[in-house]
Structure 1
């Protein structure tokens, strides 16, 4: 599982680098599907990862709106800050943590219980899902997408 987090972090950084040559107008443009646009999607990916893993650590989730971070540099900085805060937890993952439980109260007042391992895998799959959307949108911008290959990334 750790290798998939490392993969996601590398791919996210590759997307930030990809964005350097794209106009702010294109990065902010509303698009069909997903969260709405390239930069907003990168913000959303970092937000969801941070919020879930913060929850596993008993810390509050992130609730700031995208509008407060609507520039490439601000989203990159936020993602880097989040990464520094959650990386130690991810790196210290042990098999014993798999079935620990996190309970949340729904808006209807019902308690929902999630296993830690379930949440960690959700976070991984969530980012991969949105990276696929970025790949489609990159073609609309007229650029090749970042490679989604797991191999040739030096992870092993």
Structure 2
């Protein structure tokens, strides 16, 4: 599981670097599908990962400032680094004994839900991969080459 997180983190860093060559206007432009803009999609990916893993760490749902406070590539990169520092130790300490542990959550309708830690971790991984696909489509719409989604050739399994 750690390797898939590392994969997502590498791909995210590649996308953040990709954004350095795109105008802020294009990064914030409302687009069809996904979360609506390139920067907001990156913010959303980071927020979801941080929020779920923060809960798994027993810290509860963290207060996340509104996107408008992060609406630049520099601020999104800082947000990513801060969140990564807070959750990476948990990801690297993951072990099989956590798989079946339960997290109790209250959904938007006020109902109690229970999720296994392993299910949440896999959801977080799949969630980022899903949104990275949207970024790839938008990059092609801009006439730019998207970041490769290949798992191989990233040095993760050397």
The equivalent residue for 1:7 is 7
Q: CA RMSD in A?
A: 0.9
**Which consecutive aligned stretches of 4+ in structure 1 deviate over 3 angstroms post-superposition?**
none
For 1:38 and 1:12, the matched residues in 2 are separated by 12
Matches within 5 A, 1:1-156: 1-59=1-59, 60-156=61-157
2:114 is paired with a residue whose SS is strand
Structure 1: runs of 5+ lacking an equivalent: none
Distance 1:112 1:45 in 2: 22
Q: Structure 2 length as normaliser, TM-score? A: 0.96
In structure 2, C-alpha distance between the alignment counterparts of 1:132 and 1:25, rounded to whole Å: 21
Q: TM-score, normalised by structure 1?
A: 0.97
Distance 2:41 2:111 in 1: 29
Q: Distance in 2 between matches of 1:48 and 1:108?
A: 19
Name the count of aligned residue pairs. 156
* Offset from partner CA, 1:27-77 (integer Å, 9 cap, x none): 000100011110110010000000000010111324311111000000000
